[in-house]
Amino acid sequence: MTDFEKFIQESKGLIFDCDGTLVDSMPLHMKAWDHAFTAHNAVYDRHFLGKLNGMREIDIINKYNDAFNHALDPQKIVNDKHLFFREQLADLKSVEKIADIAKSNFGVKPMAVVSGSFAEIVHAELKVIGIYHYFQTIITADDPFKPKPDPECFLEAAQRIGIDPQDIVVFEDGDQGLIAAQNAGMKTIDVRQFMQYYGPDKNSFIMSK
């Protein structure tokens, strides 16, 4: 048994981010952001938005406005992004190695999804890749909890699945989510090494106890 397998086996519950963790959706999200910004005569700054990965989209636009002295309408940007995204959503695939972990633990450990995206998008993505029914609860930007990097959404998920935070492993691809999970007292796995657009070493994990 590898250290990674032991790390998961010793947990009592699992929590997954959705975009870029269970679903290989980040390239499409990037295209959708670019489309929405261009439609509003604004420049899509991939590096800036990448640092905010995991935050709610409305909050991302507000931070963009503050950082670049813009006055973009957050709701209009998000609406345009979602429209573009939904048109291509059916072609999404899973992040196979992470989705397989959810599949192998279905019915074995309680599991949840905690995402900064809206429920409409998250639920549709999970249904497209066929794992929506694996999770006891799904928390999204539509829920009235403080978003990542605040730990509240993760603590709520832990309560819903009935597992103490210290016994949960969280799979995340965003700094905001990793910070939130660690501040909730949970163990974390940074899955970015699996994604080609994050770097070449896709076969290793960064684990935090």
**Residues classed as catalytic:** 17
In the sheet that holds 111-114, the strands lie side by side as 137-139, 111-114, 13-16, 168-172, 187-190, 206-208
Six token digits for residue 120? 């409409």
Contacting residues for 144 by C-beta, under 8 A, at least 6 apart: none
Is 99 in contact with 20 (CB distance < 8 Å)? no
Question: How far, in Å, are 18, 43, 110, 134 from residue 54 at the CA level?
Answer: 9, 20, 22, 21
CA of residue 42 relative to chain centroid, distance: 25
Is 23 in contact with 92 (CB distance < 8 Å)? yes
For residue 5, count other CB atoms closer than 10 A to its CB: 10
| Residue corresponding to tokens 């800036």 | 48
